[in-house]
Amino acid sequence: MLAIIGGSGLTTLSNLDVSHREVARTPYGEPSGALVFGQICGQPAMFLPRHGYGHSIPPHMVNYRANLWALHHHQATGIISVASVGGIRGDLDPGDIVVPDQIIDYTWGRHSTFFDGVGSPVTHVDFTEPYDADLRQRIIKAGEELGVAIKVGGVYAATQGPRLETAAEVNRLERDGADVVGMTGMPEAVLARELGIPYAAINVVANHAAGRGHSSNGIHFESLEPVLQEAMGRVRSLIERLVGCQDACRPLGMSV
């Protein structure tokens, strides 16, 4: 069953034919909200809002371990992470959809592993390619079939938040090789890897990053909502296509 984690702009999944909701209990505390189960185009799927249903959980306070453990416990065979980002790269404009292929982690103080309990063995996971290649290709193919433009590839910079970045910080991120900046991509991606769940991201550019383009003199928050609303419609179509064709695709397997 494919799981979708919704971020800013996607707190509900309107094309999910809901069958039931379930409050999950985990060894790591409470997830961000109840898991919502249902079908998309006749195929099973589940949804979890990363920031809670009232969008009240800031990025640094999200219980990422509880979220990922709950999805794993309920047999998620793959995870699509949807998140809004700031565009750093020159060809990225508000409303663009990006499927990143790399991550740079600038976060701190977040619980970033399941292997840190008393007596837990030191466990290393390979994170050379942080996103599942097969799941990424399915998203890209869905875009091609629907005629939805996707910017393929990019480096996601995960910052601490909840404040946005300074122009100087964005300059640094660009020098480091980042193309987009967000606040929730880590440790979500590595926790999915530790659990062996294929994980890929759909990023929606909500605005130019600080000091870039329309944001050269500041972020104009009033302009973000219409951009996200329009773009998330395309994201829902991508998810519908992706989930609906699972019966015609080989089953999602373990991350490689």
- Tens of pLDDT, residues 201-256: 999 999 999 999 989 888 888 888 899 889 989 999 999 998 876 443 433 333 32
* Model confidence pLDDT, tens digit, residues 49-73: 999 988 899 999 999 999 999 999 9
**Looking at the domain covering 2-248, what would its CATH class be?**
alpha beta
Q: Residue 204: helix, strand or coil by DSSP?
A: strand
Q: DSSP strand E in the chain: where?
A: 2-6, 17-22, 35-40, 43-49, 78-87, 97-99, 102-105, 151-152, 155-158, 180-182, 199-208
Buried-exposed string 124-142: b where 16+ CB fall within 10 A, e elsewhere: eeeeeebbbebbbebbbeb
Q: What percent of the chain has pLDDT over 70?
A: 93
Token match 């399941």: residue?
114
* Model confidence pLDDT, tens digit, residues 138-178: 999 999 999 999 999 999 999 999 999 999 999 999 999 99
The predicted pLDDT at position 245 comes to 60
What is the model's pTM?
0.90
Record the tokens describing residue 237, joined without a space: 């179509």
Q: Which residues pair with 45 in a beta bridge?
A: 2, 38
Q: Which of 92-101, 134-143, 184-193, 245-254 has the lowest mean pLDDT?
A: 245-254
Buried-exposed string 189-219: b where 16+ CB fall within 10 A, e elsewhere: bbbbbbbebbbbbbbbbbbbbbbbeebeeeb
Q: Residue 178: helix, strand or coil by DSSP?
A: coil
The full DSSP string for 69-119 is HHHHHTT-SEEEEEEEEEE-STT--TT-EEE--EEEE---SS---S--STT
199-208 vs 78-87, strand pairing mode: parallel
The predicted pLDDT at position 132 comes to 98
